[in-house]
Amino acid sequence: MDLNTSIDKKYIYKYLCTSQHPKGIIYISHGMAEHIGRYKWIVNKLINDGYHVFAIDHRGHGNRIINNELGFFFDVNGWELVVNDLCEFIKSSRKDYPNLNTYLLAHSMGSWIALSAMQKGLNINGLILSGSSKQIKPLLIIQKFIVNFNVLLYGKRGISKFIDEISLGQYNKKFKPNRTKKDWISSDNDNVDDYVEDPLCGFMVTNGLWRDLINGLLDVFKKNKYKRTKINTPILLISGSLDPVGENGKGVKRLELFLRSIYTNVSSIIVDDARHEVFSETSKESSYNKLLKFIGNI
């Protein structure tokens, strides 16, 4: 199967700053069960500060939901296709701006897609991973068994409330009493309400996507897969101290140690009292300034 991908222009978002001397291009790789439209605040901040911002909706998300199949990548090689989408998009779009530095801001599931792209030799000047973590391999293997069993019973396009509960449902229990089912994403109530009320956010993804994601994660955390990467690429991990995806910093530290065994310039920031979305938090201005400082030092 040819895994080189072409992306319809209607799935591509280019937000251009008005400066005659732009500082660079920031690419965004969004997370699971959301879309690039949720990044309006940081997009506006970046273009006002002199950066172009480029992004795509991942397959099965946002405007890229085909035949009403929310949270479904593809019948076969879904993870590989999504990673190739990102690689090809960055490679092709930066040709128009050969003299600008390029940076990738990747959140949650999007952070692991970004790391898979780095394994393929993605050439960027800096990588920012938010809301990320290094998953424990035995747990991934157990999840893989459960997901494969559900694919066998209900198919790749099937939806499993059980998988959603054991994977994501546990996160909210850390924030009882709960105001909504998604309190874990942010302490900013307006941000949470926007997420809950958005029909393109918070949906349960398919068994097929779960299988693609788990297989992708098992690959992402294999050191020997990074032979094509630029080991001097600066990498910043930024996560909330109360982010259940990052295990309140423990999973972030595991990821940092793993990446330090490959790359020469890896740093991390744990944002006090922040949850999963540090750039949609009540303290988002502070996190944004830390991002700018990281980019400015490259």
Coil, strand or helix: which one is 54?
A: strand
29: tokens are 């790789």
pLDDT recorded at residue 2: 35
Q: How confident is the model at residue 68 (pLDDT cuts 50, 70, 90)?
A: confident
Domain range annotation of the chain: 9-134+220-296
pTM of the entire predicted model: 0.95
**For helices 207-220 and 78-93, what crossing angle results, to 10°?**
70
Please state, in angstroms and rounded to a whole number, the distance separating the CA atoms of residues 94 and 260.
27
List the one residue out of 3, 2, 38, 1 whose CA is nearest residue 185: 38
pLDDT, tens digit (0-9, with 9 covering 90-100), for 160-216: 999 999 888 889 999 999 999 999 999 999 999 999 999 999 999 999 999 999 999
Condensed to tens digits (0 to 9), the pLDDT of residues 259-269 reads 999 999 999 99
**Residue 21 to residue 207: CA distance in whole angstroms:** 46
Whether pLDDT at 3 is above 80? no
**What's the average model confidence in pLDDT over 251-258?**
98
Average pLDDT value over all residues in the chain: 94
CATH number among 3.30.1380.10, 3.40.50.1820, 3.40.718.10, 3.30.70.370, domain 9-134+220-296: 3.40.50.1820
- Find the mean pLDDT for residues 133-150: 95
pLDDT at 8: 61
Spell out the residues 6+ positions from residue 4 whose beta carbon is closer than 8 angstroms to its own. Answer: 84, 88
Average pLDDT rounded to a whole number, residues 140-160: 95
pLDDT for the residue numbered 4: 44
**pLDDT cut 90: percent of the chain above it:** 90
Nearest to 62 by CA among 11, 118, 9: 11
- C-alpha 285/C-alpha 264 separation (Å) is 28
pLDDT reported for residue 242: 98
Distance from C-alpha of 238 to C-alpha of 215, rounded to nearest angstrom: 24
**Residue-level pLDDT at 298:** 86
The mean pLDDT of 122-144, rounded to a whole number, is: 97
pLDDT number for residue 222: 97
pLDDT tens digits, residue range 95-111? Answer: 999 999 999 999 999 99
Task: Classify 69 as helix, strand or coil.
Answer: coil
Q: What angle do helix axes 40-48 and 284-296 make, rounded to 10 degrees?
A: 50
Whether pLDDT at 1 is above 60 = no
Q: Is the pLDDT of residue 236 over 70?
A: yes
Please tell me the chain's helix, strand, coil percentages from 3-state DSSP, rounded to the nearest 5: 45, 15, 40
The two three-digit tokens of residue 100, written as one number: 């600008």
Kindly report the number of other CB atoms within 10 A of residue 264's CB atom.
Answer: 11
The pLDDT assigned to 7 comes to 58
Q: What is the pLDDT of residues 8-67, one digit of tens each?
A: 666 789 999 999 899 999 999 999 999 999 999 999 999 999 999 999 999 999 999 888
Q: Does residue 234 have a pLDDT over 70?
A: yes
